[in-house]
Amino acid sequence: MNLDKVKLITSREYWTRVKKKTFLISTILTPLSIVAIAALSGYMSSGAVSKAVNVIVKDESNLVRDRIRSSKSMSFEFSQAPVSELSTMVEDGRYDYAVIIPEVEDSTVVNEYETTIIGLDKPGFGALERLQGRLEKATKKYNIIQSGYTEAELDKLEAKVKFDIEVLKEGEGEDVSNASIAIGSAVGGIMGFIMYIVLLVYGSFVMRSVMEEKINRIVEVVISSVKPFELMLGKILGVGLVGLTQIFVWIVLIGIGMMILTAVFGVSSVDPSQMATAMDMVEEVQTQSDDGFSISKFLTDIKEINWPLITICFAIFFFGGFFIYASLFAAVGSAIGDDMTEGQSLTFPIMIPIIASIIMLMPMINEPNGPLAIFGSIFPLTSPLLMPARAAFDPPIWQVIISIALLIASCIFFVWLSGKIYRAGILLYGKKLSFKNLFQIIKN
Amino acid sequence: MAILQLNNVVKEYKDKRAVDSVSFSIPEGKIFGLLGPNGAGKTSIIRMITNITRPDAGSILFRGEELRREHIEQIGYLPEERGLYKKMKVGEQLLYLARIKGMNKQEARSALKAEAEKFEIESWWDKKIEELSKGMQQKIQFIATTIHNPRLLILDEPFTGLDPINTNLIKSEIRKKVDNGCTVIFSTHRMEQVEEVCENIVLINQGQNILEGSVERVKEDNKEHKYEVRSREALRVSLDQDIIKTEPTDDGAIVYTRADLSPDKALRILLDQGNAISSFQEVLPSLDEIFIKTVQQKQEA
């Protein structure tokens, strides 16, 4: 094999793709839009968009007063003024809503009551829900005191369950935290998803590139100068490097973007896991921050993940998986006739294991050491997608080794097989090859 | 010495013998015609010469050595189906194609610069192939085929789709290459093109070599002893065992003689019969006619 020629082909495949406008656009626009979405939601949850709601409360029997908390998005003031006066205040625009809490008898537990809300317009669903939550919470505290407890006493009764997970594995006695499993799931999911995109998108790029050369006949000129196998290899390498470049640029740009966002909005508003719980739930989080979410904890949890294993796994399985699937796609591309649309029936068998892998991904993350996970991460057609994902859960090292060995063996097998089909396929014009033809080619 | 020698070369595809024990040799420094109708096996033979496929039996010698991959760098191949990377720029493409033939960057660059001047395509350098007309693309492809100064140039139907001006340009370029010692294999099914440019031919039909030799020799071997005779007066020819047949024309006749009668004797006989002859010319068959005749004879046999 002439490596200089392979290098030449690889660099042509790489540079013609990377210099294309569509590549530039998708490489820059994708992370930009992800960052933009994050910025938007960060901006929204920062409260800059939603106006704080000012509420004036009439609470004659002190049901909720002193027990309700004002926040950035909703502030409470109390007044004993008659309802009509409160109405004018709302009309004047000094308050958004007036809330009238009914009078209750002293020393009774209040389980249910109706409040009147006076406003110029209908309150939104979010505001209503927030208001309801706060009133209920404050009333609950009132009831506790009415029942003869103090808040301090109640706090003493609070029970919380934490997990201290000890994994019995050779050479490891470290504790695994709850959060590290969550992070592992996220990392595993992202890894699996990246592999899915790479195999499908870049695999079919290889196929299209083969078909183009065959259809415009330049392949005859090229393979009169280089071996078909060198051409196929150079093509796969070139396209694979384009994929790596794109992923790398994405990660860097998203990383930089997120760092900028973090600086602008602060961590909590940008962290996707918190986006849903932002707004008023921030309050809750703050009260729990000593044992729940804290940045330093998050960082130590991230450190707990076996990053070297994940990185090595990802690199090995990226190349292995890409070579297996890209060579298969190349073989299919060469076997398809002159018509670009003919490929469906031949590409389908290749897509099945890729799609099966992505379907297996979620169940596997939920049960990373179950039989499905073990099988999926060792079987060479699904392992490229599933093993990097599973690596976040510290799989037994012998399974990783078996999986890699199988991957390399089948990589060699599939590249060899595809090389055979490719060599014959690119010179056959007109007719699409049937599976029977393919077998004949392989047998020869 | 023959630059290329094929010995009983066989190529089989699954249900067909595309090349059936073909032998011929190509003398160096000449234009060689590889002739035959569509589907005769020309492309299969070319693919074996260009090392794209291997013969199932027989051997191919390049300058006396068994044909190897390294010889490819001395061969330039312009396939019948024209192909270039449509989205690539002219310059990049030529550079790439030159380099996969084994030229290094500097060599390729300076050679391409010279060619670009010669073919007046410098202004196309940064244009994409798809922006060029068919004829322009063909020029680019010709440059790509010859840039590495091959000893052997294989042109498969090089003139299809070219206008007369570009046809002449390419023709004169081919001549120049030959003058510089390059051998050209000119593959075509259009025999009339061959007669003007080729010195030697081989005729392939249904995978078999049915005729081979110099154009002159082939014509000589297949001549029908046919003469075009012109005369101001009507010709009076009496038929005998020497003059077999005549066909009158507007200003004379076509005269057929027996096979071993030489032209001068035939002319003497006609003069002796009292004809005033203004012109007497031997009619050699066209390659087209020879081809059709040979194929028919083979089928009858």
pLDDT tens digit sequence for B29-84: 889 999 888 888 888 899 889 888 888 899 999 988 998 878 888 888 888 777 78
Any A CB within 8 A of B69 CB: yes
Q: Would you state the pLDDT for residue A277? A: 38
Read off the pLDDT of each residue in A343-358 and give the average, rounded to a whole number: 84
User: Is the pLDDT reported for residue A338 higher than 70?
Assistant: no
- The least confident of A21-35, A418-432, B176-190 is A418-432
Nearest CA in chain A to B71: A225
Note the pLDDT of residue A237: 93
Q: Predicted confidence band at A290 (pLDDT cuts at 50, 70, 90)?
A: very low
Query: In this complex, do B84 and A218 lie within 8 Å of one another by their Cβ atoms?
Result: yes
Q: Determine the average pLDDT of the residues in B266-274.
A: 86
- Which pLDDT band, with edges at 50, 70 and 90, does A14 fall under? very high
Both tokens of B58, joined, read: 């027989």
- Chain-wide mean pLDDT for chain B? 87
User: What is the structure's pLDDT at A153?
Assistant: 81
Is A225 close to B53, i.e. CB distance below 8 A? no
Q: What is the structure's pLDDT at B132?
A: 86
Calculate mean pLDDT across residues B279-294.
Answer: 87
Average pLDDT over residues A9-16: 92
Q: At A98, which amino acid appears?
A: A
Average pLDDT score over residue span A344-348: 78
Q: Which of A106, A129, A108, A105 is nearest to A117 (CA)?
A: A129
The answer, yes or no, to whether residue B183 has pLDDT greater than 70, is yes
Which contacts (CB < 8 Å, 24+ apart) does range A24-32 have? A26/A246, A27/A245, A27/A246, A27/A249, A27/A250, A28/A249, A28/A253, A30/A250, A31/A249, A31/A250, A31/A253, A31/A254, A31/A257, A32/A253, A32/A257
Substitution target from A224, A230, A443 for chain B, most B beta carbons within 10 A: A224
Distance separating alpha carbons of residues A183 and A408, to the nearest angstrom:
29
Give the mean model confidence (pLDDT) for residues B224-230: 88
Is A169 in the B-facing interface, judged by CB distances under 8 Å?
Answer: no
Close Cβ partners of A373 (under 8 Å, ≥ 6 residues apart): A363, A364, A367, A386, A390, A395
Nearest-by-CA chain A residue for B51: A224
pLDDT for B157 equals: 86
CB of A220 less than 8 A from some CB of B: yes
Tell me whether B271 touches chain A (CB under 8 Å). no
Residues 6 or more apart whose Cβ sits within 8 Å of residue B164: none
B100 touches chain A (CB under 8 A): yes
Residue A408 pLDDT class (50, 70, 90 cuts): very high
Specify the pLDDT at position A303: 64
Q: Higher-confidence residue: A339 or A320?
A: A320
Among A5, A8, A216, select the one facing B83 at the smallest CB separation: A216
Taking 90 as the threshold, does the pLDDT of residue A171 lie above it?
Answer: no
Q: Which helix (H) or strand (E) holds A376?
A: helix A371-378
**Most A-contacting residue of B86, B94, B100, B147 (CB-CB within 10 A), to test interface:** B100
Average pLDDT over residues B142-150: 88
Q: If you measure CA to CA, which chain A residue comes closest to B84? A: A218
pLDDT at B208 over 50: yes
Query: A316 touching B, CB under 8 A?
Result: no
CB A291 within 8 A of CB A160: yes
Q: In chain A, pLDDT over 70 holds for what percent of residues?
A: 82
CA distance B248 to B93: 59
- pLDDT above 90 for B291: no
Please report the pLDDT score of residue A343 as a whole number: 65
Give the pLDDT of residue B45.
92
Asked whether residue A295 carries a pLDDT value surpassing 80, the answer given is no
Across the interface, whether the CB atoms of B52 and A220 are under 8 A apart is answered yes
Calpha distance B190→B160 (Å, rounded): 10
Which residues, in sequence order, are CB contacts of A251 under 8 Å at separation 6+?
Answer: none
**CATH code for the domain defined by A53-149:** 3.40.190.10
**pLDDT tens digits for range A19-56:** 888 888 988 888 888 888 878 877 776 555 567 788 89
Q: What are the boundaries of each domain within chain A?
A: 53-149, 179-443
| Signed CA dihedral, A250, A253, A256, A257: sign only | negative
Q: pLDDT band for A305, please (50, 70, 90 cuts).
A: low
According to the model, what pLDDT value does residue A278 have?
A: 40
Of the pLDDT bands very low, low, confident and very high (cuts 50, 70, 90), residue B260 is confident
Interface touch A216/B72, C-beta < 8 Å: no
What is the pLDDT, as a whole number, of residue A268? 45
Among candidate residues A163, A230, A443, A207, the one with its CA nearest the CA of residue A330: A207
Chain B nearest-CA residue for A12: B96
pLDDT of residue A269: 42
pLDDT of residue A280: 42
Q: Hey, what amino acid is at A24?
A: L
The confidence score (pLDDT) of residue A83 equals: 86
pLDDT digits (tens, 9 = 90+) for B2-33: 889 999 999 887 778 889 889 999 999 889 99
Question: Is B72 in Cβ contact with A221 (below 8 Å)?
Answer: no
Top pLDDT among A170 and A314 is at: A314
Q: What is the pLDDT of residue A283?
A: 43
Q: Say which range, A10-14, A101-105, A184-188, B175-179, has the weakest mean pLDDT.
A: A184-188
Which parts of A60-96 are beta strand (E)? Answer: 74-78
Chain A, chain B: beta-carbon pairs less than 8 Å apart: 58
Q: Which of A218, A338, A340 to mutate to test the interface with B (most CBs of B within 10 A)?
A: A218
Give the gap in angstroms from C-alpha B77 to the nearest C-alpha of chain A.
Answer: 7
pLDDT digits (tens, 9 = 90+) for B86-145: 888 899 999 999 998 888 899 899 989 988 888 888 888 889 888 888 778 888 888 988
Residue B260: both structure tokens together: 């071993």
Whole-angstrom distance, CA of residue B84 vs CA of residue B93:
8
Say whether pLDDT at A174 is over 60.
no
Three-state SS sequence of B92-142: HHHHHHHHHCCCCHHHHHHHHHHHHHHCCCHHHCCCEHHHCCHHHHHHHHH
Nearest CA in chain B to A8: B100
User: Beta-carbon neighbour count of residue A43 at 10 Å?
Assistant: 15
Which span out of A156-165, A229-238, A366-375, B282-291 was modeled with the highest average pLDDT? Answer: A229-238
Residues from chain A that touch B85, judged by Cβ atoms under 8 A, are 16, 213, 216, 218
pLDDT higher than 90, residue A164: no
The pLDDT of B179-191, averaged and rounded, is: 89
Which residue did the predictor score with more confidence, A205 or A72? Answer: A205
Please tell me the predicted confidence (pLDDT) of residue A304.
65
Residues, chain B, total? 301
Distance (Å) from the alpha carbon of A215 to chain B's nearest alpha carbon: 8
User: pLDDT tier at A169 (50, 70, 90 boundaries)?
Assistant: low
Which residues sit opposite B255 in a β-bridge? B227, B246
A344 touches chain B (CB under 8 A): no
Task: Count the Cβ atoms, other than its own, within 10 Å of residue B143.
Answer: 21
> Of residues A218 and A277, which shows the higher confidence score?
A218
**AA identity, residue A273:** S
What is the overall mean pLDDT for chain A? 80
Distance CA B248, CA B256 (A): 11
